[in-house]
Every structure is written in structure tokens, then in C-alpha cells.
Amino acid sequence: MLSRQEILAGYPVELASFSELLRSLSDEELAALSRCEGWVVADVAAHVVGGLADVVSFNLDGAGTPEWTNRQVAERRGRTQHESADELDQVAKTAADLLGQFDDEAWKAPAPANSAPSVGSGVEAMFYDAYVHGDDIRAAIGRPSVTGPGLRAAVHHLAAALADHGWGPATLALDGLEELPVGDGSGARITGDPIAFVLVATGRQDPATIGLDPSVNIYP
């Protein structure tokens, strides 16, 4: 897992990038089908915005379930890209103010409503989620993937999630990133493009394209 300092520095940058991406969308792009089954770009945006809005308001009943995410989308259906970005900017500021109050001990404490093993891991998961869904939007409208702190957060999150799912042991030695153990770090050494690995490990790309099998997926 990334350090508290890295997450607090990088997550606001990722949210600002997501907001900027939303404001750049045309109405046609907002309506484009995404690789998230059943969702157009506007729905992907609504989930990211709504998820953070729910977290900062401690509306965590059912967090992570399809019902929780579908409600976020339904509540925001019909909004413009600028209305979604405005809400994101507002809740991102609230989140930054809230997270700034946590010390190291609070960061390690269980997340509210058992929504994550710790506050820190829950925030890292949201950091990952914003990055991956930003990539979903870019893919839907024909824009290239981006790198940066969000990609590194995604790889860290996926390394822990894969270990929790019993995948590995292995070592992630992906281009441009430090090596990360999955489990005890023995076993296979996974190299190559970190974006491709993120897409494979989240079921968005055929694992055979990077020489892996279907077990490398946190959403089996």
C-alpha cells in the first residue's frame, strides 16, 4: 500500500484530472458506450462522483455493492458534464479537508461500516477507482491512457487485492515502477506495461495478451 503522504498528495491530483476530463467532454462523448457493462461515459462519471459524495457524507450502507453504485448513477442521470465536474470539485475539497484530520493511527483504523480493512486502504481503493474509470472514459472516446500517480496507486492496490484473492505468489516488475511482491514475492516475475497489467487484472483486457491466465482478475 502507498504511504499516507503519497495518497494525500496524489489522490487530489487524480480527482482534479478527472474533473478536467469531464469538462472536456462533448455531449456526444458523454453518451458514448463504455467498457463498463451497461454504462455510458456519463454513468461512469456519476459513479466516481457519487462514490466520493457517499464516502464524505458517510453514506456507506452497502458500499461496493451493485445496488450502491447503481443508485449513484441513477441519482445523477441527466446531468451535464459540467454539473458532474462541479459536484466532484465540491466533494473533493470536502474529502481533502476530512482526510487532513487523520493522523497515522486513524489512517490504520478500520474504515467506517467495514467498507475497507483500514481508512488508508479505503482511500487508496478510491484513488485506484478514479484512475481506472478515467481510463474507461478515455478508452470510450478514443483518447490515450495516461500515466502518473494514479497508475502507481492502481498497481499497488491491485497487488494487495490479488494477494487477498489468493493469486500468486509473484513479483510485479512493471515498466517504470518499483517492484511489488504479491504474497511472499516468490514465483513468477511479471514484467511489461503497467497499464496493460491494470486492464488485465480488472477484467478489462484478455490476460493472454500479456502472457497470463484468467486467474489474474480481482473481479472473477
Q: Is 11 exposed, middle or buried (0-12, 13-18, 19+ CB in 10 A)?
A: buried
63: in domain: yes
Please give the grid coordinates belonging to residue 144.
490515450
Confirm if 181 and 195 have CB atoms less than 8 A apart: no
Please give the grid coordinates belonging to residue 80.
451535464
Same domain flag for 27 and 93: yes
38: in domain: yes
The CATH number linked to 108 is 1.20.120.450
What's phi and psi for 188, nearest 5 deg? -65, 150
220: in domain: no
Question: Where does a domain end: 129, 146, 163?
Answer: 146
Tens digits of per-residue pLDDT, 100-159?
898 999 999 988 877 788 999 999 999 999 999 999 999 999 999 999 999 999 999 999
- Check residue 156 and give its pLDDT: 96
Beta-carbon contacts of 122 under 8 Å, excluding residues fewer than 6 positions away, are 55, 111, 115, 116
DSSP 155-184: HHHHHHHHHHTT---EEEEETTS--EEETT
Same domain flag for 26 and 98: yes
Average pLDDT over residues 4-20: 95
**Integer CA distances (angstroms), 95 to 8, 24, 49, 100, in order:** 10, 23, 12, 8
> For residue 166, what pLDDT band results from cuts at 50, 70 and 90?
very high
- Mean residue pLDDT across the chain: 94
The domain of 166 spans 150-210
Distance CA(34)–CA(141), nearest Å, equals 8
Distance CA(83)–CA(46), nearest Å, equals 10
218: in domain: no
Q: Is 60 exposed, middle or buried (0-12, 13-18, 19+ CB in 10 A)?
A: middle
Same domain flag for 129 and 165: no
Task: Say how many domains are in the chain.
Answer: 2
Question: Which 3 state secondary structure label does DSSP give 2?
Answer: coil
Question: Where does a domain end: 146, 169, 189?
Answer: 146
Please give the grid coordinates belonging to residue 62.
452497502
Average pLDDT over residues 38-63: 95
- Check residue 108 and give its pLDDT: 92
